[in-house]
Amino acid sequence: MTEPLLARFTADGYAVAHGLFDLEEVDRLRDHFMGLRRRGPYADDLAGVRADRRDPLRRYPRLAQMHRWDDTSLRWLLDVRLRSRLSELAGGADPYAVQTMFYFKPPGSRGQALHQDNFYLRAEPGTCLAAWMAVDAADEANGCMQVVPGSHRWPVLCTTGADTTVSFTDVTVPLPANQKVVPVLMNAGDVLFFNGSLVHGSAPNSTTDRFRRALIGHYIQGDARQVAEYYHPALRMDGTPLRLDISEGGGACGEWTPDGGIVNTARHAVTRKHE
């Protein structure tokens, strides 16, 4: 791993490994998942809340947990290039793999409101990590990832309602006034690694002709002893399953104070699967 990747991840809570997968490989993966989508539906598909008949996500719902039945997804989730970077970013120990997702994000589709992944995964102690691979070039027009640098130092925040005209999920996190949210521009084959507390999401795909596909792996740090039920069984990075405890919902969450601080006062609702 290059020192700058770890340094950026530590400072900002995210970092991009450029060109980690080559374009031929990404082309094959894109064809593979488009083929799976045509052959679907599958148990963990998600079009999102309030998807009316014209919503492009009705035709292209997100795939999830494909590694449980698709060998290509499993091999990608455990790929040595991801493994080596993830273990460096997690402090030297291999993480455990708990989720795959494929977002198609066709032209005209909604994005995903700002959120923190560990709100859903409830990995404890420690947190979760994501590897988000661009399958198409991603920019602001087609709804690239947006992140809040440094928010990995925040606790898991109490959620509020999201604007479902621009988000296929219905919860978001409130941000302090003037908080910077930055777009992450990526080429196909680049991988964005980010911490489970990092606030992130994406705006709609406002193009008429460009998909913004992404293949995503979620992991939990190797010292985690529990994770929400949806993510069981966790896998070691050699593919063998391991038993962890089930995290229950209802933990404390942070709220902003008027002077810009955070207090842990409220309690989360029950654990939900990652949306």
Q: What is the secondary structure of 108-136 as a DSSP string?
A: T--BEEEE-THHHH--BSS-EEEEEEESS
Task: Name which position in 26, 63, 113, 214 contacts ligand AKG (CB under 6 A).
Answer: 214
CB of 272 to ligand AKG, least distance (A): 13
Residue 159 or 202: which CB sits closer to ligand AKG? 202
What is the C-alpha to C-alpha distance for residues 127 and 195, in angstroms, rounded to an integer? 7
Q: Rule CB under 6 A: is residue 117 a binding residue for ligand AKG?
A: yes
Place of tokens 């990092």: 198
What is the C-alpha to C-alpha distance for residues 67 and 114, in angstroms, rounded to an integer? 26
Task: Name which position in 85, 200, 210, 213 contacts ligand AKG (CB under 6 A).
Answer: 200
Q: Rule CB under 6 A: is residue 247 a binding residue for ligand AKG?
A: no
Q: From the CB of residue 58, how many other CB atoms can be counted at a distance below 10 Å? A: 13
What binding mask, one character per residue, do residues 86-105 give for ligand AKG by CB under 6 A, x or -? -----------------x--
DSSP-assigned letter for residue 3: H
199 three-state secondary structure? coil
What binding mask, one character per residue, do residues 119-138 give for ligand AKG by CB under 6 A, x or -? -----------x-x------
Q: Which residues make Cβ contacts (< 8 Å) with residue 79, sequence separation at least 6?
A: none
Q: Rule CB under 6 A: is residue 66 a binding residue for ligand AKG?
A: no
Task: Name which position in 95, 111, 204, 217 contacts ligand AKG (CB under 6 A).
Answer: 111
Residues that bind ligand AKG (CB under 6 A): 103, 111-112, 117, 130, 132, 145, 200-202, 214, 216
